[in-house]
Structure 1
């Protein structure tokens, strides 16, 4: 197996890249793979966790602060090529509403001008991503599945434009592997069970049914993080407005978002091949070798 030459990751907001792909990016950088991160918005609608920073919530200053967090996370992962889709401020966070079904979300009723998930803008967004992919010439593109992982409208749109851009550049599907991030059900469940035994953990652990997982058998590639998980934890800590990290040296470490539910930072990240050449699975899997 040979590692990919160049990889582009398309994510909706700062912190999404680290939660789902931080280990993959760190391992790719270590392997000499060219890594380009495309972030579509600066997460302007994000909730802010630390009391010392809560004045940023809903403030026009939040975007700049989260951009700084993203810079720190990229530095922790070793990623030096980072782009904002369409340039800074072109697209903003659409926001979301809870569905009441575990950790799952849906689009708000009203989307303002410039909201990333507005239907009218999808063709322009695809064109902007095509421009980046044409320059970078990746053999691997990573984003989300059709549900956006947990339903956030910006994640769904990132999936749509990643797929649209790859199809335009590789209509026969024989050059570019298009991948979706995933969470393997049984590994997540084992991690949650281990966290449930940690009496010191100050937050509740959700049932696995509340989390967006996929059957383990549907995962195409499991990328073992090894020492790269240390870099992923550092990148998670960099997103301080959005994430709390709990690590006492026992397995697994944990993180929590603004919902105050503890989730495991697993020793592997999981990916599903959506489209691409037959050897694409071996190519991405080489990063675990």
Structure 2
């Protein structure tokens, strides 16, 4: 298979995670001719259903939410122009693990977790499924979650573990040669949310009178926000904001149209959602731009 010179692979836990966290990045690189591969580890079978007419899809009723969200994911990828999107091991291989909120306000594993869940997956088995994709696509850059999965969801944490283990194994020539020729990923980034940008966005939304931001305090941000001195790269492409928001709307069972994502005008949306930040955790930092950060995830390659 002939692929473009630049290749980016993203590993996410559930449908919608990719559009919220990396929609701008994906749309930009597709537009620039890079090959973008999305790997989604589960179909989000236990996601909270926000549309009353879809409540029958819930796990305790028809248990068909995963299949429905697969359709939402395909629609979202069409909005971003991503043609290579896969479910790890195929649809249904790993089930959404669910979660609960801990006393510390962070997500954590539920008291009872289905044996088929991604959280219970054998790490080597799941990683080898990703090794095969890495060796096929041969990405220079991989985007994954941090060690806490952003906010503690067990599937996000497991996706982090699988992504990093698979990158290591994919580079080992003696590991599973049947899965393809060894490939060493040059750079790994963790997606990050800029604390300063979030503070600015909340204040601007308040000043504009936007609704849907109740409970968001610019002076008391969630712990998964990252201060600027810990950021390494920024992708700023406000011209792709409409595509990102369209992709998010495609995940209609999970994202309400009157929520904070859409509670602002076009100009504010471009400021709030037209920029995505990253931390570099493998590889050498490339040249920086006027922002003081890398402005291209392929910088230095």
TM-score range, shorter chain: 0.7 to 0.9
Query: Equivalent residue for 1:209?
Result: 221
Query: Equivalent residue for 2:232?
Result: 220
Which of 275, 287, 292 aligns to 1:268? It is 275
CA contact (8 A) 2:41 2:159 kept: yes
TM-score by structure 2 length?
0.84
User: Runs of 4 or more off by more than 3 Å in structure 1?
Assistant: 277-284
C-alpha distance in 2 between matches for 1:154 and 1:24:
22
Structure 1 residues 1-289: aligned runs within 5 Å: 5-58=6-59, 59-102=62-105, 104-118=106-120, 121-170=122-171, 175-207=185-217, 208-210=220-222, 212-245=224-257, 246-253=262-269, 265-279=272-286, 285-286=295-296
Q: After superposition, give the CA deviation of every residue in 1:142-197 in whole Å (9 maximum; x if it has no partner).
A: 110001001101001111111111112336x9742111100011101111112223
Q: By how many angstroms is 1:265 displaced?
A: 4.3
CA contact (8 A) 1:195 1:205 kept: no
How many residue pairs get matched? Answer: 276
Q: Secondary structure at the match of 1:190?
A: helix
C-alpha distance in 2 between matches for 1:60 and 1:234:
26
Using CA pairs under 8 Å that are at least 6 residues apart, name the structure with larger relative contact order, 1 or 2.
1
Q: After superposition, give the CA deviation of every residue in 1:198-252 in whole Å (9 maximum; x if it has no partner).
A: 4351451422423620111111101102211110000000000111242552543
CA contact (8 A) 2:196 2:227 kept: yes
Q: Secondary structure at the match of 1:269?
A: strand
TM-score by structure 1 length?
0.87
C-alpha distance in 2 between matches for 1:288 and 1:7:
9
Cα distance change on mapping 1:201 and 1:139 into 2, 3 Å = same
RMSD: 2.7
Which deviates more from structure 2 when the two are superposed, residues 37-46 or residues 59-68? 59-68
Cα distance change on mapping 1:4 and 1:217 into 2, 3 Å = farther
